[in-house]
Amino acid sequence: MNKHSLVVRLFLIGALLVMLFVSVPFVAADNGTDSSALREAVTLAGVRAHQASLQAIADSNGGTRVAGYPGHDASAEYVFNQLTAAGYSPVYQEFTYTFFNELETPILEQTAPNPNVYPPNDVAGFATMEYSGSGDVTTLVQATNDIVIPPATAANTSNSGCEATDFAGFVAGNIALIQRGTCTFYDKALNAQNAGAVGVIIFNEGQPGRTDAFAGTLGAADFTIPVVGAAFAVGEELYNLSLQPGGVTVHMFTHVETFDLPTRNVLADTAGGRADRLVVVGAHLDSVPAGPGINDNGSGSAAILEIAIQMAELGIQPQNKVRFAFWSAEESGLLGSQYYVDQLSTSAIRKHAVNLNFDMIGSPNYVSFIYDGNGDGTGTAGPNGSDVVEDVFLDYFATESLPSVPTAFDGRSDYGPFIDVGIPAGGLFTGAEGIKTADEAAVFGGTAGVAYDVCYHQACDTYANNNDTALDLMSDAAAHSVLTFAMTTSSVNGTDKGKGHGQSDFEYAGSSLKK
């Protein structure tokens, strides 16, 4: 590196540090709450003890805590019993969801004119969509209208397959080739199925960052045909061949199962506090089938459990009622939190002052992310009042001389259903499969070019998959925010005055792409 480049790099890092450490004033919701006693009581050891218990539960139940299975049931019972012992009167909120499971490795191969096997579950190949149907078909591929090759310069602009008219002239019994963009995968696949397609290939749009294969979600088990998400290069090849005389023939195979499973959220309220200014503190308790989920999201659920226990131990009498919520089936598309919100009347929604969400707060290669309530850092704001939530976190981090970075509300965690109905939201996150940048490594330490959590959604997301520094500081920040909103006498300027507005056009439903 030459001297000039080094000077420029140091200047940029310095500028980033200034922005990260800048102090912000107290906001209306923060009356200078002294959270030191609660933060001192919420220890790293206490949070880690809950994680150890969740690990032991997973170890006794096939290595997983997936919703509707014994590992999650035992996790919910553990949380329920811990809250009861602390003096709460927790309740189970029962619901049923549709579980999806892939039974065999899928196949996507071109049989003519150029035999070619596309790699399954590979960024250069394809992956089965969640809630795809099963099927084994070999037939011609037919492209829908509105496919754009080369891709448009802006992402998410292809309207391919979004309208029934895109399938005008479609030959029933063919495989539909559709480009990602604009509308949901559900809409595209359903239009194809209704047009008589016996399989659906939805390929990525093609702009930078949208070239790889993807395992998106269709959102509901409404499909009887195989549906896969493919890399742009796969789709481009099939599209060009489909326009040639004789076309292109493909063999598709998927073998899946879907069935309904009962599961439960765990909810516990403080005894005191104004019920018309309800503070919902949430974290999901379920894991993916592949592993125990001790960072995702044993970290967030362990932290809010310890906060609840220590608030009771300290005898804190909140001004506003606090509801600790341990969601189920987040990994299948935020289904536990969605069920909770769906049960709320319009009046009940307006009594929800705020939702605080803590999902993954101990990532090994962490960054301290704060949800961008006002949208000035990511371009995506939360409902009215979410800026207040963000400012409480920003003020805390600045006061403690801790750096932070904004992260967008993109629908990847349980704040999504709350935002949809206009409830202000915010929270903390330490990163998942995203790759740490050099600038982030300069500020937070760790390793650039490596995922924030290399064990994300894998069997290795165990008790050992943790960064003590991250978990300790994020647990303290969570405790401060919970107490701040529990004790404030100022309303959050959101749903209390009927000014909330929803924001449901998310690209994700939990960890899965939906469009």
Ramachandran class of 144: left when φ > 0, alpha when ψ lies in -120 to 50, beta otherwise: beta
Confidence at 31, pLDDT banded by 50, 70, 90: low
How confident is the model over 37-95, as pLDDT tens digits? 999 999 999 999 999 999 999 999 999 999 999 999 999 999 999 999 999 999 999 99
Q: Which domains does the chain have, with CATH numbers?
A: 23-94+262-513 (3.40.630.10), 102-258 (3.50.30.30)
pLDDT given at position 515 = 85
Instruction: Please give the average per-residue pLDDT across 255-275, as a whole number.
Output: 97
pLDDT tens column, 451-477: 999 999 999 999 999 999 999 999 999
Using left for φ > 0, alpha for ψ between -120 and 50, and beta otherwise, residue 235 falls in: alpha
330 is catalytic: yes
The runs of H, that is alpha helices, within 133-270 are: 185-194, 232-242
Q: Please state, in angstroms and as integers, the Cα–Cα distance from residue 368 to each residue in 358, 360, 380, 400, following that order.
A: 12, 11, 18, 13
* Separation between Cα atoms, residue 7 and residue 20, nearest integer Å: 20
Between β-strands 175-179 and 199-203, what pairing exists: parallel, antiparallel or unpaired? Answer: parallel
For residue 1, pLDDT beyond 80: no
Average pLDDT over the chain reads: 91
| Angle value at C-alpha 275, between 270 and 276, nearest 5 degrees | 150
Question: Helices in 157-297 by DSSP H: which ranges?
Answer: 185-194, 232-242
The answer to whether the bond into 120 is cis (omega within 30° of 0) is no
**CB 384, CB 424: distance < 8 Å:** yes
What average pLDDT score do residues 437-449 get?
A: 98
**Cα–Cα nearest to 500, from 399, 383, 326, 344:** 383
Could you report the per-residue pLDDT of 268-277, keeping only the tens digit for each?
A: 999 999 999 9
State residue 20's pLDDT score. 36
Output phi, psi for 178, to 5 deg: -130, 145
The Cα–Cα gap between 2 and 431 comes to: 33
For residues 345-369, average pLDDT: 97
Contact criterion met (CB below 8 Å) for 366 and 495: no
Q: Taking Cα atoms as reference points, which of 336, 369, 340 lies closest to residue 470? A: 369
Distance CA 371, CA 312 (A): 27
% of the chain surpassing 90 pLDDT: 85
Residue 382 pLDDT class (50, 70, 90 cuts) = very high
Instruction: Please provide residue 449's backbone torsions phi and psi, each rounded to the nearest 5 degrees.
Output: 80, 5
Q: What mean pLDDT is predicted for residues 355-371? A: 98
Distance CA 478, CA 396 (A): 10
Q: For residue 122, what is the DSSP state?
A: S
Residue type, 196: G
* Bridge pairing between strands 199-203 and 274-284: unpaired
Q: Are 83 and 324 in contact (CB under 8 A)?
A: yes
Per DSSP, what are the bridge partners of residue 179?
Answer: 203
| C-alpha span between 325 and 305 (Å, rounded) | 9
Distance, CA of 340 to CA of 327 (rounded, Å)? 9
Tell me the mean pLDDT in the region 166-183.
96
Residue 373 has pLDDT above 70, yes or no: yes
Buried b (16+ CB within 10 A) or exposed e, 364-386: bbbbbbbbbbebebeebbbbbbb
Catalytic annotation, pick one of 205, 330, 390, 440 = 330
287-327: per-residue pLDDT in tens?
999 999 999 999 999 999 999 999 999 999 999 999 999 99
Output the CA torsion sign for 285, 289, 290, 291: positive
